[in-house]
């Protein structure tokens, strides 16, 4: 029987996307793949290949619910871990990989108890709570961001964060530096705090009119902010496409002279794989300030300007937007620095670690 990979993962896109990428790669290598998650996670697994078996186990978190729900956390996790242990006894996994999220706890706990080859993948520059618990209890921590803050004794390798096929199709696309011609500015804020990007049109209003006239803006704005954003660009007579979501972000990113965005793990991975200058605004509400950590490597490499929310003003943003779009050499060097930080082969790096662990006696 072929080797078996267990993927233990929660229900958020940040966890599911890299897990799906690894599942597809390992299936192509002839491995069997089984997804271990809870009921909520299973609902988000529809994009996984049909060949991936699903096993639903109970899990829970203290971050949700009232007192009764919190009291039931340990019993639910214990029940889920026992079910995972029984499953592993019946069909022993070759390797178990956790991608974070509390639904990953049962399979990771069972793998630890059985001393199976195991690792975790962390998309952010700061370990999530579940990955932090298991970081010193696995053979390897695969890090998307380097450096990643790790507990003492954890063994880690920089793999990068797997990106979508549409991003890979635009990997290392030739960059057209700013100049005396139409220039594309891409603005997006992610699922949280996107309203902060209302500062962008205010900043553009402070730029010289000659520069404004050359701008073409793609601005991803929530429905609640859509009308205000459209009105702001119309008042400035700046050509702008304002939508709640762009299905072709990789295409727009490849065409951009500059990107203004949050520094979520997937956004940073996409920017570095394609290689574009960026102004990153970490989400201040992030519990572990992981978005600042995500942007640290790009900032240190001079591939991005990082502005904390507390320092974000239209004037500060205008200074950096104008400074980059008026300096072709600077923009070009930022694009090259960003590309140096990219890991387009992140999925293959993860798969190689799995195969290495799978050869352990």
CA torsion sign for 315, 254, 48, 132 is negative
Walking along the chain (361 residues) 10 residues at a time, the average pLDDT comes out as: 94 83 96 92 84 85 56 76 95 97 94 98 94 97 92 96 92 98 93 77 97 97 91 96 92 98 93 98 89 95 97 97 98 98 96 95 71
Neighbours of 323 (CB within 10 A): 13
DSSP secondary structure letters along 73-87: HHHHHHHHHHHHHHH
Contact 87, 55 (CB under 8 A): yes
DSSP secondary structure letters along 203-246: HHTTS-HHHHTTEEEEEE--HHHHHHHHHHHHHHT-EEEEES--
Specify the pLDDT at position 162. 93
Q: How many CA atoms lie within 13 A of 20 on its CB side?
A: 20
Specify the pLDDT at position 137. 97
Let me know if the fold of 4-162+345-358 is the same as that of 168-340: yes
Percent helix, strand, coil in the chain, to 5, is 45, 15, 35
> What's the CATH superfamily of 168-340?
Glycogen Phosphorylase B; (3.40.50.2000)
Contact 272, 172 (CB under 8 A): no
What HEC string does 100-150 produce? Answer: CCHHHHHHHHHHHHCCCCEEEEECCCECCHHHHHHHHHCCEEEECCCCCEC
Contact 298, 278 (CB under 8 A): yes
* Phi, psi dihedral angles at 124 (to 5 degrees): -100, 170
Domain positions in the chain are 4-162+345-358, 168-340
Task: Please name the residues in contact with 220: beta carbons below 8 A apart, sequence gap of 6 or more.
Answer: 187, 188, 189, 194, 197, 242, 243, 244, 245, 246, 249
Specify the pLDDT at position 75. 80
Contact 14, 80 (CB under 8 A): no
Contact 263, 188 (CB under 8 A): no
Neighbours of 304 (CB within 10 A): 27
CA torsion sign for 249, 253, 256, 261 is positive
Specify the pLDDT at position 239. 97
Specify the pLDDT at position 270. 95
Specify the pLDDT at position 234. 97
* Phi, psi dihedral angles at 334 (to 5 degrees): -65, -40
Q: Residue 181 and residue 162: Cα distance in Å, rounded?
A: 34
Q: Residue 202 and residue 233: Cα distance in Å, rounded?
A: 9
User: Residue 94 carries which DSSP code?
Assistant: S
Specify the pLDDT at position 188. 93
3-state secondary structure (DSSP) of residue 158: strand
Specify the pLDDT at position 65. 57
Specify the pLDDT at position 67. 59
Q: Which CATH number fits domain 4-162+345-358: 1.25.40.10, 1.10.3720.10, 3.30.70.2740, 3.40.50.2000?
A: 3.40.50.2000
Specify the pLDDT at position 59. 73
Tokens of 252: 């727009």
Q: Residue 321 and residue 342: Cα distance in Å, rounded?
A: 23
225: Cα separation from own chain's centroid: 24
- Residues forming beta bridges with residue 158, ordered by sequence position: 143
């Amino acid at each position: 029987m072929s080797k078996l990979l267990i993927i233990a993962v929660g229900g958020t896109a940040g966890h599911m996307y890299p897990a799906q990428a690894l599942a597809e790669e390992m299936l192509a290598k002839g491995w069997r793949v089984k997804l271990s998650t809870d009921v909520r996670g299973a609902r988000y697994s529809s994009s996984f290949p049909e060949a991936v078996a699903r096993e639903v186990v109970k899990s829970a978190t203290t971050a949700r619910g009232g007192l009764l729900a919190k009291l039931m956390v340990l019993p639910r996790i214990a029940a889920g871990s026992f079910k995972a242990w029984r499953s592993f006894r019946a069909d022993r996994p070759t390797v178990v990989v956790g991608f974070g999220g509390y639904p990953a706890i049962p399979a990771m706990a069972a793998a630890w108890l059985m001393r199976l080859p195991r690792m975790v993948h962390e998309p952010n520059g700061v370990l999530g709570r579940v990955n932090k618990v298991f970081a010193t209890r696995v053979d390897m921590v695969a890090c998307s961001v380097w450096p990643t803050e790790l507990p003492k004794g954890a063994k880690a390798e920089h793999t990068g964060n797997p990106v979508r096929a549409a991003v890979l199709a635009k990997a290392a696309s030739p960059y057209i530096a700013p100049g005396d011609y139409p220039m594309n500015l891409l603005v997006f804020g992610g699922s949280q705090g996107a309203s902060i990007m209302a500062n962008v049109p205010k900043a553009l209003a402070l730029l010289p009119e000659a520069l404004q006239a050359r701008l073409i803006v793609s601005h991803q704005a929530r429905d609640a902010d859509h009308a205000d954003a459209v009105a702001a660009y119309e008042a400035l007579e700046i050509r702008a496409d304002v939508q709640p979501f762009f299905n072709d972000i990789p295409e727009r990113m490849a065409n951009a002279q500059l990107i203004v965005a949050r520094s979520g793990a997937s956004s940073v991975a996409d920017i570095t794989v394609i290689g574009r200058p960026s102004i990153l605004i970490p989400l201040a509400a992030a519990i572990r300030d992981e978005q600042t950590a995500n942007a640290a490597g790009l900032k240190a490499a001079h591939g991005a300007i990082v502005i904390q929310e507390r320092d974000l003003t239209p004037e500060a943003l205008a200074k950096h937007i104008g400074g980059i779009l008026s300096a072709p050499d600077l923009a070009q060097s930022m694009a090259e620095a960003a590309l140096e930080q990219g890991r387009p082969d992140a999925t293959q790096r993860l798969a190689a670690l799995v195969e290495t662990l799978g050869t352990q006696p």
